[in-house]
């Protein structure tokens, strides 16, 4: 007992030990810049209408079906708030409020429609939530200019460690997920995706070489599993970071993955030493002062040491968060069958770009009174992205079936029965039935339990 | 010292990886089918052998339609009417070959929808057409797409009872004949614009844009190909057969080419055009580099080709069982054959839709995907 308490004390001591605030500051600024850019990009591409207000039906997250889109004007308001909050985070202006607003607006928009679920959106939500808890505005921020008494150059170690741990989990789990037969030994899905990029300027011919999918599969797996380690040591760090830039640039060119490569290139910097961050910040400060002399401090800021504490409730909150982060991705083990096929326990587990999967789903609605069965034209209700995502994911198929039931019930079909014939191709294999085509989905409820109406892949 | 060692190690590994790649790519005899496929040549072929001929034919046949309409306008009689009807049938048959290319110059632009919506919306709205003729005000730029295009022309020059006297009587009205000519002139100018644009610069752009991302030519051609295919099943057959949820019975008036009774000929031609696109086959039967050849070169492609061609055979059998009679007659005599055709087309959908896009790695939307 005594020794374990000592060990806990040691851990506590190392978590509250003073470290430089500089890595937190860089993270805050870069994250704020990227989020500002990403918000503007999203609005400029017209995605508010495409994603949120044009579709007549939205797929919801289990337990979050109460989240609804607002009218288009208010969706724009939400995005303006999101953009301003991202700016606030970047500048460290009303920082905590900004971080809270960024978290709320971003998470709200992501929860509207399951179709657009992306692991990196999930990561952004988590990062926003963590930033709320971290004192990243106590140096090189407009808050310090407003209230010089909050300035601090050191913070307790747990703050930087929290971010490192989160990024480490993302990379490591993404790497572990790649350890599977198709990825390593068939080089699938890269064997499908890479030749499709043979026309990219300069690197296209190189990507199209037949051996490249194998090389990229193995390197990708090794990279994700071990990059945190290589980034943590000074000797390997420059090469490791060069490979971060290389990998994320190549995938950014090859796939439509938006700002994700930028996010990861920014986040990986958290593993750089404090001195590096400090130098970077000092240089940026000098540059800014030269460009905008008005910014020069009027009075000397006397930095304090932030309180070196780790309050109990915060400790508990973070402990719970990381326990969840570490355990939740493994829930798939509790489900029978092939994870890639059933997707039971697939999301929220850092499984990124892991498989090529697509389906064609045909829904039949039967009038219980007349027994006449009609065939649904999906595109009358769903946009192309929604239909594509729905047609291969059982929980979305179920949601759409329920929507069809109520839609046609309102239009005079008596007690509609809904069944679906869904053919799915996984990693270039011939398509086959995903679910029982005879089951009445209208009377099936979603839940945590295994979906016994999925036809198992190995059968 | 140590730094140099690390650099040395890094470059050795890079060198090794590169040589491995080189050896592997030279040594790929057994995977001869995996010879990298040249999408540029495929796009070139589609432009030269399928798309441009389709628009050229369409344009000249619409011009012929206009001539026939002018001749009829000058001397309306049974013979000029018959010529006009014949010209319509020829032009609308040609349209089926251009049905699937609603992108680029034929795509949406501002308030203008794709060419297919602007000149081939069905069913036509009789009331809107009659209103336009009665009021004499029409601009062909509004939302009344069911009051213009091929099917509006058809409504004016055909009678479902096939009674030429009735048509001739109706067309004694100058306003009616003016509307008819205006409709055809509008189609002429729309198709002329598309053709000109393809000839001028779009062809080069189409061939140059040879990636597989959402805006690429391959993706646009593919997406419109699938949309066109699905429209046969969903709208040309499913709708009039009453196969949509909530429909209590077949609705034979909601059919393509209702007034002329050429429904079956049109969807058969349409399907032929779709099949030609998949094969990369010109109208004269000359086969070139198309989606089929592209599939031959990718992982899982050969299996998909076999599955696709088997199902194409089944669709053809189902098509052959449907004679070219007016749809309402077929519902009496060949209802089972029509249902069967719909079923076979339904079975075929996945081979063109998800299976093909998945294997070819074509993006069907602009939205971001999951990234690593």
Average pLDDT, chain A: 93
CA nearest neighbour of A118 among A428, A327, A385: A385
In the block, which residue shows the tokens 């999951």? Answer: B370
Site from B29, B245, B299 to mutate, A interface, most A CB atoms within 10 angstroms: B245
d(CA A117, CA B371): 11
Predicted confidence at residue A309, as pLDDT, reads: 87
- Residue B363 pLDDT greater than 90, yes or no: no
pLDDT confidence tier of residue A459, bands split at 50, 70 and 90: low
Of A50, A217, A20, A200, nearest to B372 by C-alpha is: A217
Name the A residues in 99-118 with CB < 8 Å from any B CB: 116, 118
User: CB B371 to CB A235 under 8 A?
Assistant: no
Q: Which residue bears the tokens 């407009």?
A: A142
Mean of pLDDT values over A198-218: 88
Question: Rounded to the nearest 5 degrees, what angle is found at the Cα of A434, between the Cα atoms of A429 and A437?
Answer: 135
CA atoms within 13 A on the CB side of A134: 30
CB contacts, 8 Å: A253 with chain B: none
| Cα(A167)–Cα(A271) distance, integer angstroms | 9
User: How confident is the model over A235-276, as pLDDT tens digits?
Assistant: 999 999 999 999 999 888 888 888 889 999 999 999 999 999
Q: What is the mean pLDDT of chain B?
A: 90
In this predicted structure, what is the pLDDT of residue B45? 97
pLDDT in tens, A334-354: 999 999 999 999 999 999 989
Categorize the per-residue pLDDT at A189 as very low, low, confident or very high, splitting at 50, 70 and 90.
very high
Confidence at residue A200, expressed as pLDDT on a 0 to 100 scale: 82
B193 has a pLDDT exceeding 50 = yes
CA-nearest of B210, B230, B227 to B294 is: B210
pLDDT score at B29: 38
Q: With an 8 Å Cβ cutoff, is A381 touching chain B?
A: no
Mean pLDDT of A27-46: 96
A380-406: pLDDT as tens digits: 999 999 999 999 999 999 999 999 999
Average pLDDT over residues B86-111: 95
Angle at A260 (CA atoms; ends B358, A246), nearest 5 degrees: 90
pLDDT at res. A201: 80
The verdict on a CB contact (< 8 Å) between A51 and B244 is no
Decide: B125 and B156 in contact? Cβ < 8 Å. Answer: no
In the block, which residue shows the tokens 């010089």?
Answer: A148
For residues A347 and A414, give the distance between their C-alpha atoms in angstroms, rounded to a whole number. 36
Q: How do residues B224-243 score in pLDDT, each as one tens digit?
A: 999 999 999 999 999 999 99
**φ/ψ (deg, to 5) at B366:** -85, -20
- The pLDDT of residue A69 is 97
- What is the ipTM metric for this complex? 0.90
Strands (E), chain B: none
Q: DSSP assignment, residue B139?
A: -
Task: Indicate whether B132 pLDDT > 80.
Answer: yes
Q: Nearest residue of A to residue B342 by CA position?
A: A375
End-to-end Cα separation, chain A, in angstroms:
52
Residue B26 is predicted with a pLDDT of 41
Q: Do B25 and A211 touch (CB under 8 A)?
A: yes
Q: Which of B31, B245, B368 sits opposite A257 (nearest CB)?
A: B368
Residue pair A430/B304 in contact by the 8 Å Cβ criterion: yes
pLDDT at position A72 over 90: yes
pLDDT over threshold 90, residue B372 = no
Instruction: Write the CB contacts of A407 (distance below 8 Å, at least 6 apart in sequence).
Output: A381
Angle, helices B150-157 vs B78-98, to 10°: value is: 160
Mean pLDDT of A148-157: 93
**Does position B183 have pLDDT exceeding 90, yes or no?**
yes
Q: Kindly report the nearest CA distance between residue B354 and chain A, in angstroms.
A: 5
B365 close to A (CB below 8 A) = yes
pLDDT over 70, % of chain A: 98
pTM (two decimals): 0.92
CA distance A25 to B47: 55
pLDDT at position A297 is 67
Closest-approach residue (CA) in chain B for A251: B372
- Please tell me the distance from the alpha carbon of residue A255 to that of residue A193, in angstroms, as a whole number: 8
Token pair in block for residue A202: 């300069």
Q: Is the pLDDT of residue B30 over 50?
A: no
Return the number of CB contacts < 8 Å for A and B. 180
Alpha-carbon gap, residue A30 to A265, rounded angstroms? 10
Instruction: Find residue A362's DSSP bridge partners.
Output: A421
Q: What is the mean pLDDT of residues B275-304?
A: 96
Instruction: Give yes or no for residue B19 having a pLDDT over 60.
Output: no
CB contact under 8 A, B354 and A358: yes
CB count within 10 Å of CB A244 equals 22
How confident is the model at residue A196, as a pLDDT? Answer: 86
Q: How far apart are CA A239 and CA A458, in angstroms?
A: 42
pLDDT digits (tens, 9 = 90+) for B32-75: 334 578 999 999 999 999 999 999 999 999 999 999 999 999 99
Question: Edge-to-edge strands of the sheet including A432-433?
Answer: A373-375, A357-366, A417-426, A432-433
For residue A2, the model assigns a pLDDT of: 58
Note whether A25 and A139 are within 8 A (CB). Answer: yes
Long-range Cβ contact pairs of A32-35 (< 8 A, separation 24 or more): A32/A86, A32/A87, A32/A88, A32/A89, A32/A90, A32/A91, A33/A90, A34/A259, A34/A262, A34/A263, A34/A266, A35/A82, A35/A86, A35/A89, A35/A90, A35/A102, A35/A106, A35/A124
Give the pLDDT mean for B17-28: 44
Question: Which pLDDT value is given to residue B354?
Answer: 94
Any B CB within 8 A of A262 CB: no
């Amino acid at each position: 007992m005594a020794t374990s308490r000592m060990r806990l004390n040691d851990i506590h001591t190392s978590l509250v030990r003073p470290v430089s605030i500089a890595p937190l500051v860089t993270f805050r600024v870069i994250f704020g810049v990227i989020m500002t850019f990403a918000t503007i990009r999203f609005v400029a591409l017209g995605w508010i209408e495409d994603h949120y207000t044009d579709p007549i039906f939205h797929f919801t997250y289990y337990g979050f079906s109460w989240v609804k889109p607002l009218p288009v004007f208010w969706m724009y308001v939400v995005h303006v708030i999101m953009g301003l909050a991202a700016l606030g985070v970047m500048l460290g202006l009303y920082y905590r409020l900004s971080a809270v607003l960024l978290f709320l607006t971003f998470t709200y928009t992501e929860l509207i429609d399951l179709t657009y679920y992306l692991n990196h959106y999930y990561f952004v939500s988590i990062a926003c939530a963590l930033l709320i808890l971290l004192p990243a505005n106590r140096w090189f921020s407009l808050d310090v200019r407003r209230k010089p008494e909050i300035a601090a150059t050191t913070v307790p170690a747990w703050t930087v460690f929290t971010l490192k741990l989160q990024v480490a989990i993302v990379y490591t789990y993404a790497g572990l997920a790649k350890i599977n037969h198709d990825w390593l030994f068939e080089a699938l899905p890269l064997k499908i995706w890479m030749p499709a990029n043979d026309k990219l300027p300069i690197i296209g011919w190189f990507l199209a070489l037949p051996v490249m999918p194998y090389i990229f599969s193995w390197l990708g797996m090794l990279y994700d599993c071990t990059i945190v380690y290589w980034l943590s040591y000074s000797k390997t760090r420059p090469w490791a970071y060069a490979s971060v830039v290389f990998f994320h640039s190549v995938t950014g060119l090859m796939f439509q993955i938006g700002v994700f490569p930028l996010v990861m290139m920014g986040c990986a910097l958290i593993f750089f030493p404090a001195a590096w961050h400090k130098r970077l910040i000092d240089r940026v400060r000098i540059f800014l002062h030269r460009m905008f002399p008005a910014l020069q401090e009027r009075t000397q800021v006397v930095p304090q040491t932030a309180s070196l504490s780790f309050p109990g409730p915060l400790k508990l909150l973070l402990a719970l968060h990381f326990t969840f982060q570490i355990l939740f991705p493994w829930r798939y083990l509790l489900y029978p069958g092939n994870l890639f096929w059933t997707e039971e326990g697939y999301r929220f587990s850092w499984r990124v770009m892991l498989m090529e999967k697509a389906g064609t789903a045909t829904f039949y609605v039967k009038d219980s009174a007349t027994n006449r069965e009609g065939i649904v034209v999906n595109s009358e209700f769903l946009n192309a992205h929604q239909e594509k995502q729905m047609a291969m994911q059982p929980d979305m198929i179920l949601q759409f079936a329920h929507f069809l039931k109520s839609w046609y019930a309102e239009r005079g079909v008596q007690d509609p029965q809904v069944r679906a014939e869904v053919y799915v191709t996984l990693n270039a294999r011939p398509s086959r039935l995903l679910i029982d085509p005879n089951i009445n989905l209208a009377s099936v409820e979603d839940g945590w339990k295994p979906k016994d109406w999925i036809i198992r892949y190995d059968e | 010292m140590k730094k140099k060692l690390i650099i040395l190690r890094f470059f050795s590994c890079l060198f090794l990886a590169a040589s491995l790649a080189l050896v592997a790519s030279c040594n790929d005899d057994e995977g001869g089918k995996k010879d990298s496929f040249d999408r540029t040549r495929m796009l070139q072929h589609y432009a030269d052998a399928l798309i441009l001929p389709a628009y050229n034919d369409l344009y000249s046949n619409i011009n012929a339609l206009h001539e026939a309409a002018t001749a009829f306008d000058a001397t309306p009689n049974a013979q000029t009417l018959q010529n006009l009807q014949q010209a319509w049938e020829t032009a609308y048959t040609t349209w089926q070959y251009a049905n699937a290319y609603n992108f680029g110059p034929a795509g949406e632009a501002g308030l203008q929808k794709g060419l297919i919506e602007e000149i081939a919306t069905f069913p036509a709205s009789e009331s809107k057409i009659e209103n336009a003729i009665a009021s004499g005000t029409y601009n062909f730029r509004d939302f009344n797409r069911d009051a213009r295009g091929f099917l509006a022309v058809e409504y004016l020059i055909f009678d479902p009872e096939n009674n030429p006297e009735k048509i001739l009587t109706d067309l004694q009205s100058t306003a009616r004949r003016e509307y008819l000519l205006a409709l055809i002139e509008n189609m002429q100018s729309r198709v002329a614009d598309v053709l000109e644009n393809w000839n001028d610069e779009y062809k080069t752009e189409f061939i140059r844009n040879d990636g597989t991302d959402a805006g690429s030519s391959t993706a646009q051609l593919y997406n419109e190909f699938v949309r066109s295919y699905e429209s046969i099943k969903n709208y040309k057959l499913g709708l009039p057969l009453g196969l949509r949820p909530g429909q209590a019975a077949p609705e034979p008036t909601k059919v393509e080419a209702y007034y002329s009774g050429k429904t079956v000929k049109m969807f058969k031609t349409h399907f032929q055009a779709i099949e030609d696109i998949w094969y990369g086959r010109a109208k004269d039967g000359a086969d070139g580099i198309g989606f089929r050849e592209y599939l031959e070169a990718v992982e899982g492609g050969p299996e998909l080709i076999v599955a696709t061609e088997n199902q194409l055979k089944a669709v053809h059998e189902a098509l052959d069982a449907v004679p070219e009679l007016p749809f309402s007659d077929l519902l009496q005599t060949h209802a089972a054959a029509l249902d069967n055709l719909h079923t076979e087309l339904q079975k075929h959908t996945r081979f063109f839709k998800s299976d093909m896009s998945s294997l070819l790695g074509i993006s069907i939307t602009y939205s971001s995907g999951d990234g690593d």
